[in-house]
Chains A and B, each alone.
Chain A
Amino acid sequence: MKPEDFIHIPSAALSPHYIQYKGVFDMDDLYQSIADFFKRKKFKFYEKQQRYRKPGPFGPEILYQFEALREVEDYYQWRINVNIETFDIHDVDVVLKDGTKKKMTKGRIWVQMWATTEVDYSKYWEKNAFLAHLKSFYNKYVVRKRLEGVWWDEMYYNVLLQLHALIRERLKMASEVYEHRHFDRVH
């Protein structure tokens, strides 16, 4: 019997969030903004994959896969995954408001992001059966409300929704508002 067969609530996950956009955007700026965001939020940021392929004459498809990890406390960590894929992209010259010219990208972009709060990420409590059962009990009865109500909530509202708003802002979408971005904390 494996530990995951009887350990209750090993993580609290979110349903994936999606953004799709078609138009002109600045891919460099978007990339840097995401990396900078995770750095500010004290995450370790990894680019797991960057795949370039050219299936047709309309432009290349580039896939970026990011993963960000933050070990918030000894017992739990936040894991955030972001997938960005671009389709039919090509460079265009754009004149900015101040009259300067800039190269930007025109095409379609698809963003998917999801996040998880994982407990006991170092697997310390799975060394033997007794500890694993203890962990299961702890998750189910002691820290359940905190996991689902506080740790998960902080990750969702302070990180994921803010990242979602940041991407919309950098893409200059019509829905670029996140009303509660400064709501609960200043850092």
Chain B
Amino acid sequence: MGHLKIIVDHEKIDYSGPLDVNDLFRMIDNFVFEKGFDKRQDKDFEQNTEKGKFVEWQISPWKKITDYIRYIIKVRILGYDLVKIDAKQNGKKTKIDYGRIIIVIDGFMEHDYDNYWDDKPFLFFLRTVYDYFVFKAYTERFEQRLVHDINNLHDNIEKLFNLYRHYTVISRQGP
């Protein structure tokens, strides 16, 4: 395995209230696709309990930036006690979900994903030197872009839940 570096560590959203779980998954799927990531579905679990549904959903889409670096975003969603309730939308009666949702987002950058540089200790050393000193400027730019993408996703989720937002995405996309 290449060198996996944590860029965004456990960005968390905890929400209780009315929501549409389908819309949430669809929005994240769309986001991932529009940003050019390949989708990987890790978990899709659902249990019907007495209090409602328990849902665990996890994806870890990846995107190859160069032939040396790729991004991995891990989105984990836990839904507790999800039940259907009646609601009015544009004057029409609809059914939506109600419950507690916890979303955890992680961002990783994997260097040398094809494992060309970790066969021998010397190559491993060279790779580390290369990443931290020679390639440093590029590495930082790539990190900035990943942070920007994740901030964007976080902001979209807040918009979808109609949360009270103090500020919108202010991170600037790297050059």
Contacts and interface: CB of A to CB of B under 8 A. Distances in A.
* Main SS class of interface, B: strand
Contacts of A20: 43-47
Interface in B43-97: 43-48, 53, 55, 57, 79, 82, 97
Contacts of B33: 179-180
Contacts of B25: 175, 177
A21 B41 contact: no
Contact of B29 (A17, A24, A173, A180): A180
B40 interface: yes
Contact of A174 (B30, B41, B82): B82
Interface in B79-127: 79, 82, 97
Interface string B1-40: 0000000000000000000011001100110010000111
A175 B21 contact: yes
Nearest to A172: B46
B26 A21 contact: no
B47 A22 contact: yes
Contacts of A15: 40, 42
B22 A22 contact: no
B26 A174 contact: no
B43 A18 contact: yes
Dominant secondary structure at the A interface: mixed
A161 interface: yes
Contacts of A24: 48
Contacts of B47: 20-23
A176 B55 CA distance: 12
A142 to B, nearest CB: 17
Nearest to A174: B21
A19 interface: yes
Given A174-B79, A175-B21, A21 B29 contact: no
Nearest to A20: B45
5 contacts: A20-B45, A23-B47, A168-B44, A174-B53, A175-B57
Interface of A: 15, 17-24, 153, 156, 161, 164, 168, 171, 173-180
Given A168-B44, A174-B22, 18 more contacts: A15-B40, A17-B44, A18-B42, A18-B44, A20-B44, A21-B45, A22-B48, A161-B39, A164-B44, A173-B44, A173-B46, A175-B21, A175-B55, A175-B57, A177-B26, A178-B29, A179-B26, A179-B30
